[in-house]
Copies of this chain bind each other. A is one copy, B any other.
């Protein structure tokens, strides 16, 4: 049974795995102080054109979100996230466990808008209230959408106005960057964000998220924060080796292009069969709405997540492609769908 459940169902891209194999018995110092990490850091700084950016490698997405929150904020300061943001839904209260409130901003498409941010800032005006201090953005978002450069710039301006930091969770950054409707360059990220992650787990690494900090105010002592939260990997070079492998030859964006192309093909094919989407997605997660009786048959052929019931007869599901998805799987899905639909 093929799984479109997620983009972390497989291991690593062969090139990444090869890099791990090639360096396996080499001795290096621990905790990210090795030369592979340094080289991966240099590649990132060069790509984003921020020579003094700090770059840290962490293992997972919730982990990097919580360490950033703990490090960047003072106790009474709060995060603003869109209502579908990962910290508000799927991190078991990880940010609150560091002592901080996450404020929910209304959003239909997974993206934060300047007006929603401004409204929350204006509503939190007294010392009896938490103080909004950091935006949580994700690109691509939990709903598959992506920020344009103009949207990020507008949020950047809102941040300046209200003294906020902008933090972007790039667990699916590649798919956002190469999306057709909201393409971003590496330098766009450095120009509009105070900190962001480059997600590896969902784009070809065994595991790993690179945190890039461009705002000097957020840099101090970050490794101490990582260690305190259990986020300083002993064999840190594993992260450096993997990120070097995926960044040095643009494999990172190639993988994302592959994932996006397949998802877009899938989305178009499903629509051509007469089904609608929860919202149009330009990236590797798509959200088709199917009749429940069709899903009863489909679920014996494919794995996927249920996104939400739409009404008594239909349900929105999530289908995800990745660097590892074979084109044949997508074709087969469309064939099966056409067949099942005809029953």
Contact = CB atoms under 8 A, between A and B. Distances in A.
A202 B30 CA distance: 12
Contact of A96 (B74, B99, B104): B99
Interface stretch (A55-63, A134-142, A183-191): A55-63
Contact of A324 (B9, B25, B74, B229): B25
B59 A8 contact: no
A212 interface: no
B127 A224 contact: yes
A27 B12 contact: no
A221 interface: yes
Interface in A97-156: 97-102, 104, 126-131
B127 A227 contact: yes
A152 to B, nearest CB: 26
Interface string A211-234: 000000000010111011111111
Interface in A45-86: 59-67, 70-71, 74-76, 78
Contact of A11 (B24, B59, B67, B97): B24
Interface of A: 2-3, 5-6, 8-12, 14, 17, 20-21, 23-30, 59-67, 70-71, 74-76, 78, 89-94, 96-102, 104, 126-131, 201-202, 206-207, 221, 223-225, 227-235, 238, 303, 324
29 contacts: A2-B27, A3-B29, A6-B30, A8-B234, A11-B25, A17-B24, A20-B206, A29-B303, A59-B59, A59-B230, A62-B230, A63-B230, A66-B229, A66-B230, A70-B97, A75-B225, A76-B227, A91-B227, A93-B100, A94-B228, A94-B229, A97-B99, A97-B229, A99-B99, A101-B102, A104-B104, A127-B227, A128-B232, A207-B233
